[in-house]
Amino acid sequence: MTSRELKEFLDEKADYYNHPRFVETDPIQIPHRFDKKEDIEIAAFLTAIIAWGNRKSIIHNAERMMDLMGNSPFDFVMNHSERDLKDLSGFVHRTFNGVDLQYFVKALHHIYSYHQGLENVFNKHVQDEFLYTAIHEFKKVFFELPHPQRTEKHISDPLNSSAAKRINMFLRWMVRNDHTRVDFGIWKTIKPGQLSCPLDVHTGNVARKLGLIHRTQNDLKTLIQLDTRLRLLDPSDPVKYDFALFGLGVFEKF
């Protein structure tokens, strides 16, 4: 395909998959159950953190997290007791377990109490047109409290060469704001043009077949390559093409 044909093809696929029906089968359905900004943020963040593996399992376990938090995640984060934390001990999603979830609740309480919330932490550390440094600094803030070393693996760091797929997906959910209302667009301090595509097996494989990237690893260098190409297609909203790449890979077996 020519560059123009590629853009037309991806625009068409992005429009098709960036639709409310997408929510019905995607983990983003979990934060869509809430109305309050802080509830949406916390539900989205915790759901994104466990978003690897089978999507039905992700949704099921994200639902379980919300149930354990009384389906009021912000209230739980801000007002939990030690007994409440103990009730989280049996949670497991792949390698993310109750010990990790307990710390995540404590860290979120710390962020909302002393750092003015998740949006402020990310926005405070935006340094350029990309958010790689902001994610790196967010991880440092998130692990300010004493914590099990094993828990750090659940937040990836782009400055350690990770594509940070789950954090970038969370940021897409929070920042993008268009007419479809699949993504929430409740964060106004970060621009959609600064977002990175959530790079995983599906988006990576499709992007390679389309010639958008050439490296075989799904790491930061490949993410930079993909981000650069997608920003040429749409500088103001490059990660709308996440819908196209993901949809082509998962639903069309492209």
Query: What is the DSSP annotation of 35-89?
Result: -SHHHHHHHHHHHHHT--S-HHHHHHHHHHHHHHTTT-HHHHHHH--HHHHHTTT
Query: pTM of the predicted model, to two decimals?
Result: 0.96
List 214's β-bridge partners, or say none.
none
Identify the DSSP state of 199.
Answer: -
Helices assigned H by DSSP within the chain: 3-17, 20-23, 37-49, 55-68, 73-79, 82-86, 98-114, 118-124, 132-142, 165-175, 201-209, 220-233, 241-250
**pLDDT given at position 1:** 82
**pLDDT given at position 235:** 96
**pLDDT given at position 217:** 95
Collapsing DSSP states into helix, strand and coil, what is residue 190? coil
**pLDDT given at position 239:** 98
**pLDDT given at position 90:** 96
Collapsing DSSP states into helix, strand and coil, what is residue 96? strand
**pLDDT given at position 128:** 79
User: Tens-digit pLDDT profile for the chain (254 aa)?
Assistant: 899 999 999 999 999 999 999 999 999 999 999 999 999 999 999 999 999 989 999 999 999 999 999 999 999 999 999 999 999 999 999 999 999 999 999 999 999 999 999 999 999 999 878 999 999 999 999 999 999 999 999 999 999 999 999 999 999 999 999 889 999 999 999 999 999 999 999 999 999 999 999 999 999 999 999 999 999 999 999 999 999 999 999 999 88
**pLDDT given at position 179:** 87
